[in-house]
Every structure is written in structure tokens, then in C-alpha cells.
């Protein structure tokens, strides 16, 4: 009986061990995992992300990837900040396993901040920068964020701050220099020395007295009287408390007084007008009772009526050309057609024709060769034979050169008269620089005792050598 019990127990033990062994050998113990990191963080715009995939183990042993099927879904927008997931679904032995990987796309790059000045100079008067201050901000994710710049103004510096949408910030600062208060301005309006013809009109132009910011100041006292009915030199004194006194000298002269024998005569001549600046030139000539000669054209029809003003004010009117185009030198007839057309215009505004002329380019010009060889020799003879008088010049103001300066015109003219007795000066009343230089030229000649006169049929012609 005992023997039977022992045998039964042995059978039960063998069956138990066999079943346990079956489960140890044949039951699956599946483990799914991620190769690489469970979570990745990338900077926006970074596309260098590599998906390392997954692994599958059974009872801790790697299962070859050709023995299971993996489905992957989930997209990552590398250009947009956000949290993304890659989902893996694995089918193995008719069972499904899943796992996910997290990918964070972030922006941790601060914006760029550009400022065009390294330091700022602040003008005392305007309280603004003496140079335009330009600043911009750009972000790799937000783009242009200039409007988000915060400018903090402290006593000696400007602080610029800007933050992008991801809270990345950048800050820069530049030094600020405050300029000193400028000095008061106290100066005579116009020239320090002026000339008024006998019985003419003296206009008191006063002085400019302002603080350094251009604000007018009071307190100017003007002392002195000018008697334009008596030749002499008068002084006008401008006084301001705490400022240096200024003195203007006014010379009242008699333009009719004859000059000693051998004194120089100035013939101011103006070519190419009338034009925009002719009125200003006429005003200056009137101011000093100086008569000049205008060699007129029809280049600027809007101002052609000024020929009458020139004539009515006592200036000489002469023909220069109607068109001022050098193709008038194609033939004698072509030149005469242009000449007569301009002389007809002169008669319309003055009531008579003129016998005076100046060839475009002067009688010595060589550009006429390209139109007709020898034409200048022929024209000079023809016009003289027909009773006309042509004038060249022996002093050039240089105002026909490219971009002449006012000072250059003044120096050319004043220095040029040193080499002549009867000085025929070439100028152009269509030049702003000439209009600006004229008053200085006239007053310099008046001060030196020169006489002014318009050209007429008995005046020196200052002929050049004819080169064609």
C-alpha cells in the first residue's frame, strides 16, 4: 500500500514538472523598445534628425526584424515649433505591440539686432541725433521683429532690447554724447560794404541776431544815417549788449563822374538768356546803376519778354542766336536765317533792330569746322560788310565751364581785368553762380574806381583770331 502511494506521488511530480517546462520553453515574453533616445529635442529648422527605429525581444532575445511587421506614423514639421510623436505599431505572431517616441522642435536662438551707429551725438537744439539712427531686429523663426524692439534712453546711453516669441532675448547699448549749446549768431545781413548811387535808395537790411538754435533775439540797436543825396562814406553800427559791435560801410558814389584818362572801362556782357536768373541779375545791375549788354537767344520762350525789361532799363540788346544750335554754321544762309529770326524778336520787344552780335562760341570757335570749313571767315566778312558789328571778349568769367563755383567766377573776373584797359567780360545770365557772384564783382570794380558801360557801335570789339 505504501509502495502504491509513493508511485502515485512520483507520477504527479513528473506531470507537474513537465507542464512547467512546457510553459518555460513555449510561452512568449515580448519586450518592445526604442533604439536611441526616448525623446529628442531639435532646434527649429534643423532637419538632421535620424529615426533610429525600434527593437523587439522575446524572452530578452532580439528578434530579427524580418520576422515582424512595423508600421510607422507621425510627421515632424521641422520648421514649426511644437511637440511631435512618432508612433510604431508592431505585428508579431498575430499580436500587436506599440510604442511612441517624442520629438520636441524648439527655438533657442536669440534674434539679431543691428544698429547703424556705434554712438549717438545729440543736437542741443533739436534734441535729436545728428545722424539718422536706424535699428532692425530679425529672428530665425519670427522674421522681422523690429517693431518689438524696446528702446530705453538713459542719460549717457541708449539700451536696445528685443525678445522673440520663444522668449529668446538680445540686448545692446550705445553711448550717447550731448553736444554743447551753440553760440549766438550775430552777423550783418548782406555785405559789410555796399555801394549806393547818388540819389539812389539805401535799404537797411539789418543783422541776424539769434541764439545758436536759430531763435531770434531782441536787443539790437542800429546807429548811423545814410544820406543818399550826398556823395560820401557812411557807417552803420549795430550794437548788442554783451556782443561785439558790427559796422557796415555804405559808400554813396556818383556814377556820372568822369574818370581820369586811361582808366579802365568794364563792359559786362551776358550770353544765352533771357532765362530764370535774368531778373535777379537785372535787379543787381539796377541797384548799382550799372549798364550791361545782353546777347539774347530764344532758348527759353517763357522768359523772352525780359528783353523789353533789359531794353527799358538802358542795357544794350544784341543778337546771339535764335536756337543756339551750332548747325547754324552749315551755311551762310542758314546762319542768316537764324540771325534775322532773332533780330525780329528783338524788334518786337524794343521797337528796333540791332547792329550788334556775338557769334555762338565766339568768332574763334572751331566747332563750326564740322559743319562748314571756312564758315567763320566767311561770316565775319559778310556780317561786317552788311554793317553789323560782332563782339568777342577779352575776359572770361569761366561760368560756362562744368559746375563753376561762385568764388571761381569772382576770381576769374577780378583777376582777368588786370590784363586789359577796355575789358569786355563774358558772362551768362542763365547761370545761378553768375547771379550769385555779380554783386561782389560789381562792388569790387566800383571800389577800384572802374567805369561801367554798355556796348555800342563805337565800343572795342575784342576780336579773337578766326580759326575757321
Q: Are residues 154 and 248 in the same domain?
A: no
Q: What is the CATH number of the domain that holds 65?
A: 2.60.40.10
**Does 247 map to a domain?**
yes
Q: Are residues 343 and 416 in the same domain?
A: yes
Mark which of 83, 106, 129 sits at the end of a domain: 106
Is 90:70 a contact under the CB 8 Å cutoff?
yes
> What φ, ψ does residue 88 adopt, rounded to 5°?
-115, 125
Q: Are residues 283 and 343 in the same domain?
A: yes
State the residue for C-alpha cell 505504501.
2
Mark which of 219, 253, 287 sits at the end of a domain: 253
Q: What share of the chain is helix, strand, coil (3-state, %, to 5)?
A: 25, 30, 45
**Does 18 map to a domain?**
no
Q: Are residues 164 and 229 in the same domain?
A: no
Mark which of 209, 229, 253 sits at the end of a domain: 253
Report pLDDT digits (tens) over 426-446.
999 999 999 999 999 998 898
Is 374:468 a contact under the CB 8 Å cutoff?
yes
Cell of 48: 538632421
Best CA proximity match to 365, nearest among 357, 356, 374:
374
**Does 260 map to a domain?**
no
Q: Are residues 144 and 191 in the same domain?
A: no
Record the pTM. 0.55
Q: Are residues 126 and 60 in the same domain?
A: no
Is 202:191 a contact under the CB 8 Å cutoff?
no
CA atoms of 185 and 102, how far apart (whole Å): 74
Q: Are residues 357 and 226 in the same domain?
A: no
Q: Are residues 317 and 370 in the same domain?
A: yes
Structurally, the chain folds into a number of domains equal to 4
The residue segments making up the domain with residue 92 are: 29-106
For the chain, list residues with pLDDT below 50.
15-26, 258-262
Q: Are residues 304 and 427 in the same domain?
A: yes
**Does 8 map to a domain?**
no
Q: Are strands 356-357 and 389-390 parallel, antiparallel or unpaired?
A: parallel
DSSP string computed for 258-275: PPPTT--EEEEEEES-S-
**Does 140 map to a domain?**
yes
Is 86:100 a contact under the CB 8 Å cutoff?
yes
What is the structure's pLDDT at 262? 47
Q: Are residues 270 and 365 in the same domain?
A: yes
What is the structure's pLDDT at 253? 81
Q: Are residues 89 and 201 in the same domain?
A: no
Report pLDDT digits (tens) over 283-325.
999 988 899 999 999 999 999 999 999 999 999 999 999 999 9
What is the structure's pLDDT at 447? 82
Amino acid at each position: 500500500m505504501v509502495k502504491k502511494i509513493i508511485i502515485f506521488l512520483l507520477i504527479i511530480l513528473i506531470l507537474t514538472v513537465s507542464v512547467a517546462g512546457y510553459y518555460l520553453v513555449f510561452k512568449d515574453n515580448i519586450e518592445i523598445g526604442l533604439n536611441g533616445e526616448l525623446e529628442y529635442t531639435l532646434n527649429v529648422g534643423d532637419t538632421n534628425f535620424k529615426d533610429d527605429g525600434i527593437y523587439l525581444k522575446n524572452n530578452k532575445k532580439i528578434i530579427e526584424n524580418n520576422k515582424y511587421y512595423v508600421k510607422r506614423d507621425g510627421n515632424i514639421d521641422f520648421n514649426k515649433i511644437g511637440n511631435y510623436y512618432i508612433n510604431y505599431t508592431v505585428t508579431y505572431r498575430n499580436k500587436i505591440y506599440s510604442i511612441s517616441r517624442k520629438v520636441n522642435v524648439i527655438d533657442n536662438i536669440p534674434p539679431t539686432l543691428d544698429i547703424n551707429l556705434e554712438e549717438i551725438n545729440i543736437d542741443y537744439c533739436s534734441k535729436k541725433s545728428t545722424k539718422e539712427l536706424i535699428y532692425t531686429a530679425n529672428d530665425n523663426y519670427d522674421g522681422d521683429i523690429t517693431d518689438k524692439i524696446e528702446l530705453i534712453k538713459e542719460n549717457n546711453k541708449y539700451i536696445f532690447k528685443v525678445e522673440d516669441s520663444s522668449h529668446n532675448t538680445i540686448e545692446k547699448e550705445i553711448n550717447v554724447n550731448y553736444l554743447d549749446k551753440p553760440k549766438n549768431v550775430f552777423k550783418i545781413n548782406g555785405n559789410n560794404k555796399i555801394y549806393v548811387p547818388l540819389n539812389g535808395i539805401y535799404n537797411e537790411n539789418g543783422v541776424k541776431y539769434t541764439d545758436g538754435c536759430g531763435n531770434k533775439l531782441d536787443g539790437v540797436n542800429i546807429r548811423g544815417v545814410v544820406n543818399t543825396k550826398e556823395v560820401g562814406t557812411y557807417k552803420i553800427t549795430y550794437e548788442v549788449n554783451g556782443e561785439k559791435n558790427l559796422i557796415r560801410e555804405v559808400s554813396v558814389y556818383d556814377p556820372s563822374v568822369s574818370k581820369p584818362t586811361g582808366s579802365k572801362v568794364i563792359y559786362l556782357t551776358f550770353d544765352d538768356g533771357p532765362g530764370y536768373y535774368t531778373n535777379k541779375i537785372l535787379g543787381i545791375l539796377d541797384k548799382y546803376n550799372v549798364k550791361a549788354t545782353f546777347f539774347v537767344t530764344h532758348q527759353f520762350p517763357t522768359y523772352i519778354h525780359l528783353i523789353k525789361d533789359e531794353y527799358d532799363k538802358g542795357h544794350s540788346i544784341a543778337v546771339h542766336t535764335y536756337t543756339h544750335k551750332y548747325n547754324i554754321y552749315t551755311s551762310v544762309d542758314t546762319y542768316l536765317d537764324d540771325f534775322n529770326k532773332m533780330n525780329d524778336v528783338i524788334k518786337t520787344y524794343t521797337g528796333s533792330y540791332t547792329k550788334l552780335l556775338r557769334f555762338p562760341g565766339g568768332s574763334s570757335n572751331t566747332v563750326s569746322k564740322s559743319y562748314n570749313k571756312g564758315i567763320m571767315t566767311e561770316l565775319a566778312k559778310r556780317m561786317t560788310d552788311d554793317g553789323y558789328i560782332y563782339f568777342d571778349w577779352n575776359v572770361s568769367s569761366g561760368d560756362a565751364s562744368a559746375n563753376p563755383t561762385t568764388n571761381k567766377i569772382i576770381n576769374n573776373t577780378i583777376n582777368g581785368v588786370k590784363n586789359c584797359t577796355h575789358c569786355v567780360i563774358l558772362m551768362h545770365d542763365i547761370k545761378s553762380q553768375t547771379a550769385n557772384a555779380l554783386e561782389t564783382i560789381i562792388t569790387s570794380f566800383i571800389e577800384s574806381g572802374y567805369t561801367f558801360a554798355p556796348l555800342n557801335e563805337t565800343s572795342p570789339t575784342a576780336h579773337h583770331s578766326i580759326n575757321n
